[in-house]
Chains A and B, each alone.
Chain A
């Protein structure tokens, strides 16, 4: 693997980490909001 290719994959790899955390947050938030909408936050 060339140095340029190595740098490219490292940048993409490191960029993937915040994406993983962000997607995790959004998924957990969406799930939690849905559960809340069934109970405490149900529109009366």
Chain B
């Protein structure tokens, strides 16, 4: 291994006989290929098929909700709500998700029964995450500044114009279970 690193370093520190243009071209093209492959890999782990690998029961549940089928044909997939869209936050979330590989290896939610037993914990963790980020993933599509209160129900107008507008509450405080069935809600604040 040491020998390999030494030989690699020797090659890196020895001037090439190739023209500067060739070297720059190799670096440029190589950079594009690497970055393209990296982002393709990231996108692959953001796909619904990838999420279904472990979370199949919960991925199927979205089909019954407005986030899957609606009059305008706009739909959300798992990563739209569960993975930050900004590059830095996305990387942090992906690194954090490496912990989930251990759960996969241990078969923590490998059966429907195991998954159902754990869904309350998983949902709670996700609600907490969204609360901390002020429901950033909701806000990627739903912008408070462009809400037309005349199109909303009376209760929504009251809550949005007061608690949401003041920042006292965030989307996920009320909008739980908008894409999945709710777990046992006993002990969850505001749901007694």
Whether A associates with B in a native complex is: yes
In-complex Cβ contact of A9 among B27, B35, B96, B132 (8 A)? B96
Q: In the complex, are the beta carbons of A32 and B31 less than 8 A apart? A: no
Give the dominant DSSP class at B's interface.
Answer: helix
Please report which residues of chain B, range 82-97, place their CB below 8 angstroms from some CB of chain A when the two chains form the complex: 88, 91-96
**Total interface residues on B, using CB and 8 Å?**
28
- B128 neighbours in A (Cβ, 8 Å): 1
- Which A residues are in CB contact (< 8 Å) with B22? 36, 40
Within 1-51 of B, Cβ neighbours of A (below 8 Å) are at 8, 11-12, 16-19, 22-23, 26-27, 30-31, 33-35, 38
State which of A1, A12, A32, A39 has its C-beta within 8 Å of the C-beta of B30: A32
A-B contact count (CB 8 A): 68
Indicate if the CB atoms of A10 and B30 lie closer than 8 Å. Answer: no
Q: A29 contacts which chain B residues (CB < 8 A)?
A: 8, 12, 30
Given contacts A1-B128, A39-B18, contact A20 B92 (CB under 8 A): no
Question: Beyond the given A13-B91, A13-B95, A32-B30, could you list 12 further A-B residue pairs with CB under 8 A, ordered by the A residue number?
Answer: A9-B95, A12-B95, A16-B94, A17-B88, A20-B38, A28-B26, A32-B23, A32-B26, A33-B11, A33-B12, A36-B23, A41-B17
- Show 29 A/B contacts (Cβ-Cβ < 8 Å), sorted by A: A1-B128, A6-B132, A9-B92, A9-B95, A10-B92, A12-B96, A13-B91, A13-B96, A14-B88, A16-B94, A16-B95, A17-B88, A20-B38, A24-B31, A27-B34, A28-B30, A28-B33, A30-B8, A32-B23, A32-B27, A33-B11, A33-B12, A36-B18, A36-B22, A39-B18, A40-B17, A40-B22, A41-B16, A41-B17
Interface residues of chain A, those whose CB is within 8 Å of chain B, are 1, 6, 9-10, 12-14, 16-17, 20, 24, 27-33, 35-36, 39-41
